[in-house]
Amino acid sequence: MLAPFERVVERIGPRVGRGILVVVLLFLWLPIGVLVFMSFAEQNVLAFPPEGYTLDWYIVFLENDQARGAFLNTLKVSAVATPIAVFISVLIAYAIDRYAFPGRNVLQLLAALPIIVPLIIVAVALTLFFGTIGLSAGFGTIVIAHVIRIIPFAFLIILPTFMRFDRTLEEAAKDLGADEFRTFRRVTLPNVMPGIAAGTILAFTISFNEFIYTYFVKDTATETLPTFIWDQIRWEITPEINVISVVFLGVAILTVLVAVGITNVERVTERGR
């Protein structure tokens, strides 16, 4: 028989667990809900609850050339940095999974290191490095910084996908006459594509939201949405800032929906047998 304490835990445990889950979800999402709610505030000064509601601040955002330019710059940087980072991550993951060579563990550590080192340290190091080699700050330096920033996220998702892949499929393809490149293109790549797609979407999301690296390596003429928000809140906080935050939230939700649509989540996360 169960001890009295164990019977109590068995009876009320599920309810307590559900209650804790609700509290955690509220803790995470309630501030975001308030932010979305306040983006419709009528008055210029942020006060909760708002005195009235309007869509005017969304119109202000759409008519703000600087804000729209920052949004487009953010998309451009992410669109360029993401495929570069994913390509490098695929090469590193493939090399680590398939070959034994001196420095293999060091390479794996270096690929994941930027996710461990404090952002401010890497940002300062990049600024000094670009200055040393004479590379002018601008779009190019932002892209390079973003590539360094997002490689670990793509790599740490793509590597397990390669490691779980059934390599007997490659052996069968080679036995049938396929060369190394054709085997990779027709057999390996389709099977690891869910992991690559997941890594791509996560990398894009991280790049789209990156602030610290961008702030240190950008020039005054190149503005991204995170740095634009920072410059705005330094002087005045208006509901337009909430509108821009809602745009960020919308992009994040959209990327998640795309990830669910083009990847098999169970396939990406299942353990190899």
6-15, 28-37, 61-70, 179-188: the lowest-pLDDT one:
6-15
User: Token pair for residue 87?
Assistant: 């390509």
Contact 50, 38 (CB under 8 A): yes
Altogether, the residues listed in the chain come to a count of 273
Evaluate whether 238 touches 148 at the Cβ level (below 8 Å). Answer: no
Q: Are 205 and 87 in contact (CB under 8 A)?
A: no
Contact between 47 and 34 under an 8 Å Cβ cutoff? The reply is: no
Is the pLDDT higher at 76 or at 255? 76
Q: pLDDT digits over 110-160, tens only? A: 888 888 888 999 999 999 999 999 888 889 999 999 999 999 999 999 998
Q: CB–CB of 154/199 below 8 Å?
A: yes
Tens of pLDDT, residues 26-64? 887 787 777 777 777 777 666 667 777 778 888 888 888
Q: Is 266 exposed, middle or buried (0-12, 13-18, 19+ CB in 10 A)?
A: exposed
Q: What pLDDT score was predicted for residue 273?
A: 43
What are the chain's domains? 75-235 (1.10.3720.10)
2, pLDDT greater than 90? no
| pTM > 0.85: yes or no | no
Beta-bridge mates of residue 53 = 41
Digit-coded pLDDT (tens) for 211-252: 999 999 998 888 898 888 888 777 767 777 778 878 878 877
Percentage, residues of the chain above pLDDT 90:
25
Distance CA 159, CA 90 (A): 8
Q: What is the DSSP string of 132-163?
A: HHTPPSSHHHHHHHHHHHHHHHHHHHHHHHHH
